[in-house]
Structure 1
Amino acid sequence: MTPVFALCARYVTDSAALDPIAAGIRGVVDGFVDATDYGPDGYAARADLIRSTLARLAELPVTGAPDQRAAGHLRERLEAELAWLGTVDALSLRAQFGTLDAIRDSVEVLPHGSDDDWRNVAARLAAVPRMLAGWRDSLDALLDRGMPAARRQALETAALADRYGDGIHSPLLTEYADGPMADELAAAVEAAHAGYGDLATYLRHHYAPRATETDGAGAERYAVGARLSLGSDLDPAEAYAWGWEELRRVEAEMALEVDRIRPGATVEEAIALLNETEYVVGTDAYLAWLQERHDQALVTLQGTHFDIAEPLRRVQVTLAHGSAAGSAYYTGPSEDLRRPGRTWWPLGGRERFHTWGELTTVFHEGVPGHHLQIGACRVAGDQLSRFAKFSTVSGHSEGWALYAERLADELGWFTERGTRLGMLMGSAMRAARVVIDIGVHLDLPLPDGSRWTFDTACDVLLRRGRAQPHRVRPEIARYFGWPAQAISYKLGERAWLAAREAARARPDFELRSWHTKALALGPIGLDNLSLTLAELD
């Protein structure tokens, strides 16, 4: 192991000790630690670790291409994260995929097998009030420094905390039943639920009155968020104009697809028709449909357009009961591969599930999307640094997942009625994300000269982005609270497609080989994506 690779491995270990919640969700296996310190000292310790790691990196010899890639990726990611830690956004006070969700999800991803496993579950649950108390201290510290988050995000998170406090972890008691840890587990569940309730009270009555009414991040914070999400600096004016252009392009393609479903119909009429014919009823049927489609994609791709390692030939579909997320998401295999890759599917209060619109998300979250991409890092052996195996660049990962949807279309996989329209609607939603996110946070005008509001953003996502109605409000709340993450999907897809087109110019280009080699490189910032992938041997 070279000194650079050794430093990367050491950083993962040290970072996991300081933030075991994030490490566990990513799948790092470094022993169990019950809690992350979300208090001011905890954030300061993580910033200090980054600074000391960057200082050591600057002194190390870098030899050969793997070292250069590892050192460059470590440096770029740590510098971007250090800048982000200096903003209020680092506390992740947001209604979706924020600190509260990370704590909740960290319980769900723990093994639930042996009594020792359940002892860890109980310890994690018992630590929830302590973690949330530390988080409150950090939020107060930034308030005292004149760095408030948006009031909207505080109230949305309070509502989510209330929902969690009403019994989000109670199913664990039924799952474990009457084992020797039953009393300890029950007490820990009760403590966690009480902790969520205390957080809701704090956010609603203490934090929200001191929060800002302004939703937009502004240019400075947005630039930091864009660098973190894209691995690249952003030209917001160019991206905003391109987003509107891309949205119009996808809308034109949707109109042609609608005509194939019913000649002369509008998009709304086609959606209504499909909703009445292409669905399953009940969570059991939904779960079975999802798992079948995941399994079918794996079987179809292996040995044709991808070389899929044996440990990755399984994706576990999980219904995310109680989740407030507006969309499905993925968690990768653990480092030791004992925990499988999982896709998580929020139910959104539904009993009827429109399958025609969800097939494309199977390809996005599962195969050939996130599961192949993140899984390839897990099985890369000594070809990737340990840091590269567990770090991400959202533009790279979400761009790949959108590319995976596009690839599924190119391979002719959207044969069931309405499923190709579902793919195009997903693409329209991601294009709408670009204009909504940049427009809201930088206060740019809409084409008609009006300004963005929460209601305007919801209307654009529903009418132009064609998002499913149950997803609109949580999606917009997510964009408002997570500056520059929403743009990573479409801008990342644009970079992946450009990289593939550049690679196609080589006389020896072969798609299966290119996919395998591209994924084996691990995460790459959009600054270097096209050049790096175009030059693959």
Structure 2
Amino acid sequence: MTSLSAAIRETSLLDATCEDFVYDLVELVPTVGTQIGLDGHDGELQDYSPAFWDAVADRIRDLVQDVEALNDSTDACDDEDDFDDVDRLTAAILRDQMTFELDLHHRGEYLRRLNIIDSPVQTIRDSFALMPKVTPEDFDNIASRMSKVRTALRGYAESLAEAAQTGDVASHRQIDGVISQCEALAEDGSLLERQGLPPESAVVEEAKQAFSEFADWLSTELSPQATHEDGVGRDRYEMFSEFFLGRSIDLDEAYNWAKDELAKTVDEQVQLAHKLYGSDTNVLGAYRQLNEDPRYQVHGTDALMEWMRSVNDEVRSELNGKDLTVPEDLPPVECAIDGAGSGGIFYTPPSDDLLRPGTMWWSVPEGQEVFHTWQELTTVFHEGMPGHHLQIATTLLQRRDLNLWRRSLYWNSGHGEGWALYAEHLMADHGYFDDPGYRMGLLDSRRLRLARVLVDVGVHLKKATPDGIGTWDAQYAKAFLRDNCAMMEANLSFELDRYMGWPGQAPSYAIGYRDWLTLRDKALAEGMDLRRFHDKALRLGSMPMDMLANEVLNH
């Protein structure tokens, strides 16, 4: 079999322009360099001040102008300056993404950005987990970046204060959550003490103190200006939804679709609960009994990691050559425990050169020792194989057609999260959910993703609750989530806070999954077999799903 990375396509002017942009962006945003594995900036840290955000926006504007100029200069002649099909798609994706980034900047969304999952505090914290920790130079870089944490957080405070002057302040829920995260980074046993530097060293203490000072600033300066209102309203929500999906959708239709699909899923779970444990057992009762069943338990984080690795290895062997092609040079997925303890489970991609592995991170809440495989098998498929790891690592191997920006930096949530959810259900065709306990876990995953649509759209748009007797708010949303998933309470609380502070992202899973199913059915109807469909779609890399449909169906 020929490696996907074997063929070489000559670098175009647009490719070179995009690559220059990435290197310039890494100079402005050093944590991006760490994220994608570009050397030279690991010891640096952006300061998050208003001037920083302006500088990033200026460089994006220059990129958009460069792309338009290149596009205008091409003609029908067959010369080296013309856009080929790859360039035309790159330009469309780039134009779509970057104009949206500039709109967000113009609206002040980056100045006000504060939430528990995707804002500067988490970016700073998580960048240390991705930094190399082998050579003396690596540890010098860690020390250097830690020494810049105070400046970064002060710049961030300056941005938040500027946004607050016009009333743009995050909710109390998000501020309180970030305060807790900062305090955890400031206390003894902090994640900062586990980065390979002596825990008592001055630079570690300085970084911990910086997070403590920022927590105090949030508490005394920003929190008094905050609102207890979690919803962002229809206008902002429509904007964020379009950002995550790459297109606007009918939110009310999506809400009603999710409500109908949730009802069908619940009905299937009820029948399965009866099959498992008798006609007097409801779904939550079945969850409890499955949790107590030793067949679906692993004990301790070491056993959890080994189980995750074995599942990924098995899936790689099972799928290759059947429903899809696993590239020969696709590196294996790594599994690790995240020190944040939030209860979240996530994936970090390989570096662009594939030297740093793609990793599944399990953020285990303090005290959790038992893990329930009936519930978590879908998570392994989602984050590892054939989900994010296959998806993202395959994209990284497309060096012939995808420039550095497209393969390592660009990400569309509807495409990415939709594929990972689709990957969970793909494994049902291979018998992984024939066992009724694991089938209950698949349905639990589906139920959660559909419930997310209702929670996210419902709270932010202030829709009527499904029972028709009130309006969605966070309190109702938490009870609704508790009724519609098997999560532990710590995980559930984190999930709720995430939705409240990251509007529009959570529905991208279910909506993206629906888009993948629709596209697959159209491709098969046109005579494409499943393996060819998966291979073609994955090798194109991330993009809005309407663009992907055009590429898959019309070429």
Contact 1:398 1:493 in 2 (8 A): yes
* Matching residue of 2:105: 85
Aligned length: 527
Letter aligned with residue 18 of structure 2? C
1: CA distance, partners of 2:510 / 2:143: 40
- CA deviation after TM superposition for structure 1 residue 494, in Å: 0.4
- CA deviation after TM superposition for structure 1 residue 260, in Å: 3.3
Letter aligned with residue 214 of structure 2? L
* Matching residue of 1:287: 305
* Matching residue of 2:216: 201
Contact 2:331 2:357 in 1 (8 A): no
In 2 relative to 1, CA 111–335 (structure 1 residues): closer, same or farther, beyond 3 Å? Answer: same
* Matching residue of 2:121: 100
* Matching residue of 1:55: 65
- CA deviation after TM superposition for structure 1 residue 307, in Å: 2.1
Contact 2:335 2:361 in 1 (8 A): yes
2: CA distance, partners of 1:340 / 1:45: 31
Q: Deviations over 1:482-532 (max 9, x none)?
A: 11011100000000000000000122x221222111111111113323333
SS at match of 2:352: coil
Which of 393, 396, 399 is the equivalent residue of 2:418?
399
Map 1:450-461 → 2, pairs under 5 A: 450-461=470-481
- CA deviation after TM superposition for structure 1 residue 466, in Å: 4.3
Map 1:103-502 → 2, pairs under 5 A: 103-166=124-187, 167-169=189-191, 171-172=193-194, 175=196, 182=198, 186-264=201-279, 265-277=281-293, 278-324=296-342, 326-349=343-366, 350-389=368-407, 390-416=409-435, 418-449=437-468, 450-502=470-522
Contact 2:192 2:208 in 1 (8 A): no
2: CA distance, partners of 1:236 / 1:108: 37
SS at match of 2:325: coil
2: CA distance, partners of 1:89 / 1:195: 24
Stretch deviating more after TM superposition (149-158 or 15-24): 15-24
Q: Deviations over 1:134-174 (max 9, x none)?
A: 1111101111132112122111110111112113235536x
1: CA distance, partners of 2:347 / 2:473: 30
Letter aligned with residue 208 of structure 1? S
- CA deviation after TM superposition for structure 1 residue 11, in Å: 1.6
SS at match of 2:48: coil
In 2 relative to 1, CA 515–194 (structure 1 residues): closer, same or farther, beyond 3 Å? Answer: same
SS at match of 2:53: helix
* Matching residue of 2:77: none
Letter aligned with residue 289 of structure 2? L
1: CA distance, partners of 2:249 / 2:359: 32
In 2 relative to 1, CA 87–486 (structure 1 residues): closer, same or farther, beyond 3 Å? Answer: farther
Letter aligned with residue 414 of structure 1? F
2: CA distance, partners of 1:36 / 1:382: 32
2: CA distance, partners of 1:98 / 1:124: 18
Contact 1:335 1:378 in 2 (8 A): yes
Alignment RMSD: 1.9
- CA deviation after TM superposition for structure 1 residue 341, in Å: 0.3
Is the counterpart of residue 511 in structure 1 residue 527 in structure 2?
A: no
1: CA distance, partners of 2:106 / 2:145: 28
In 2 relative to 1, CA 192–231 (structure 1 residues): closer, same or farther, beyond 3 Å? Answer: same
SS at match of 2:177: helix
1: CA distance, partners of 2:39 / 2:321: 30
Stretch deviating more after TM superposition (384-393 or 106-115): 384-393
Q: Deviations over 1:58-98 (max 9, x none)?
A: 11136221111100011111112222223454343111233
SS at match of 1:382: coil
Contact 1:94 1:153 in 2 (8 A): yes
2: CA distance, partners of 1:323 / 1:130: 26
2: CA distance, partners of 1:168 / 1:81: 34
1: CA distance, partners of 2:265 / 2:501: 26
Where does structure 2 lack aligned partners over 5 or more consecutive residues? 1-10, 72-81
State the TM-score, normalized to the length of structure 1. 0.94
- CA deviation after TM superposition for structure 1 residue 262, in Å: 2.3
Stretch deviating more after TM superposition (255-264 or 158-167): 255-264
Stretch deviating more after TM superposition (108-117 or 124-133): 124-133
Letter aligned with residue 342 of structure 1? T
Letter aligned with residue 360 of structure 2? T
State the identity %: 34
* Matching residue of 1:15: 25
Where does structure 1 lack aligned partners over 5 or more consecutive residues? 177-181
SS at match of 2:400: helix
In 2 relative to 1, CA 527–511 (structure 1 residues): closer, same or farther, beyond 3 Å? Answer: closer
1: CA distance, partners of 2:172 / 2:248: 28
Letter aligned with residue 8 of structure 1? C
1: CA distance, partners of 2:38 / 2:113: 21
- CA deviation after TM superposition for structure 1 residue 248, in Å: 1.1
- CA deviation after TM superposition for structure 1 residue 126, in Å: 1.8
1: CA distance, partners of 2:193 / 2:308: 22
2: CA distance, partners of 1:513 / 1:205: 58
Contact 2:34 2:41 in 1 (8 A): no
2: CA distance, partners of 1:33 / 1:77: 29
